[in-house]
Amino acid sequence: MRKRVWLTISGVTFALLVALGGIWMASGAQQPPDPTIPATPGSDTHVQKWFKDREALQVELNDALFAVQELTGPSPESTRACARLDRVTQWLLLTPSSPHQPLDAPVDAGITQFSSAALACLRGDFPAMRQQIDDGATQRGNAVDAIDEILDGE
């Protein structure tokens, strides 16, 4: 009788292990993902570092745009503000490309227009400056969704 109970317990244990193995196999269990390959561009450490390296320039761009928006006419102050915008846009245009090439165009959207705005500002053409800033801001606003989609791997 003991032998029969032992065989029954062994048989049940074996059947349970086989069933659990089948469930595991059916669940699509695979090798774990390679941790050296990021799941999306947004989780790539090189892309994250690239964005972090540009952060100070982005803040400077926003500050420079704010400063020129307040200008009402030619003055030494307006010349400094226009030169500041020109300088930051040139720095942004000269920064290295992103480690994920599809990000380059949307991340740089509007920078060329802001550069043109700075030149118009330096010439004292404030209506043209404001138009270029508006155009650049529109382009940047339109690019935000594209950047998010690229970073999410879509």
Q: In the structure encoding, which two tokens stand for residue 154, read together?
A: 């879509």
d(CA 15, CA 27): 18
- Per-residue pLDDT 10s for the chain (154 aa) are 555 544 444 554 454 444 445 444 555 555 555 566 657 888 888 999 999 999 999 999 999 999 998 898 899 999 999 999 999 999 999 998 999 999 999 999 999 999 999 999 999 999 999 999 999 999 999 999 999 899 988 8
Query: Cα–Cα distance between 133 and 123 in angstroms, integer?
Result: 15
pLDDT digits (tens, 9 = 90+) for 6-26: 444 455 445 444 444 544 455
The predicted-structure confidence for 71-80, as pLDDT tens digits, reads as follows 988 999 999 9
d(CA 152, CA 127): 38
CA atoms within 13 A on the CB side of 79: 3
Cα(19)–Cα(136) distance, rounded to whole angstroms?
Answer: 62
| Number of other residues whose CB lies within 10 A of the CB of residue 113 | 20
- The answer to whether the beta carbons of residues 68 and 129 sit under 8 Å apart is yes
Contact 6, 116 (CB under 8 A): no
Statement: the pTM of the whole predicted model exceeds 0.85:
no
How far apart are alpha carbons 102 and 143 in whole angstroms? Answer: 12
- pLDDT at position 4 is 53
